[in-house]
Chain A
Amino acid sequence: GAVVSQHPSWVICKSGTSVKIECRSLDFQATTMFWYRQFPKQSLMLMATSNEGSKATYEQGVEKDKFLINHASLTLSTLTVTSAHPEDSSFYICSAPGQGAIYGYTFGSGTRLTVV
């Protein structure tokens, strides 16, 4: 089945630094990737949609300059949290429409970001 590999699974960084999260579609081509953020005991909130070869579209209230998204190839989408602050600490998850399944979505395993 379709697999999305997400790395790193966890990361701790200092305030003010940037962190890059990668999501790779291993056995299919993902022209679209959705990025979510999840705070403890809350639901997944859609942050943005990345599209291969074009600019990402961001949900209302999500800072484009802070959460940089790149989708340079059909198998790789990245989310960079720039100038991270403690309030950015969260669980970040990517998702792609799965290959061969008209309606299926495949999720990455998530990245736990802790900013200290």
Chain B
Amino acid sequence: GESVGLHLPTLSVQEGDNSIINCAYSNSASDYFIWYKQESGKGPQFIIDIRSNMDKRQGQRVTVLLNKTVKHLSLQIAATQPGDSAVYFCAERGGYQKVTFGIGTKLQVIP
């Protein structure tokens, strides 16, 4: 959904545990959703995506769940590693191929 300029919430996870990052999106007409990882000073890096006609998609160590009823998206990271520490954004595609980003969550992995 549209970011309202709030500061990023932080999720701290012990190394080896699973992480769940949640996101609420705003546009019920969005047809495609993406999770991005952003490290400091760099552009967003694609993690996984899901189309609106699906409710779950799995990648390597990551799973995205989509609940259109409540406009909720989640990213699950299995066996979280220190290299997973970054800021994670959900994004939705609406009209004119525009991709808008959610607020983001900072993931801190505790060794």
Contact = CB atoms under 8 A, between A and B. Distances in A.
B5 A42 contact: yes
B43 A109 contact: yes
Given A34-B98, A97-B97, A103-B93, A43 B103 contact: yes
Contacts of B89: 43-44
A43 B98 contact: no
A44 B1 CA distance: 11
A49 B100 CA distance: 12
B6 A42 contact: yes
A42 B98 contact: no
| Contact-residue size bin, chain B (C-beta under 8 Å from the other chain) | 20 to 34
Interface stretch (B11-19, B44-52, B60-68, B76-84): B44-52
| Contact-residue size bin, chain A (C-beta under 8 Å from the other chain) | 20 to 34
A38 to B, nearest CB: 9
B43 A6 contact: yes
Contacts of B8: 41-43
A104 B32 CA distance: 10
B99 A34 contact: yes
B3 A42 contact: yes
A93 B98 contact: no
B87 to A, nearest CB: 9
Interface of A: 6, 32, 34, 36, 39, 41-46, 49, 57, 91, 93, 95, 97, 103-105, 107-110, 112
Given A43-B3, A43-B104, A44-B3, 14 more contacts: A6-B43, A36-B101, A41-B8, A42-B3, A42-B5, A42-B6, A43-B8, A43-B101, A44-B89, A93-B44, A103-B49, A104-B46, A107-B43, A110-B43
Interface of B: 3, 5-8, 32, 34, 41-46, 49, 51, 89, 93, 96-104
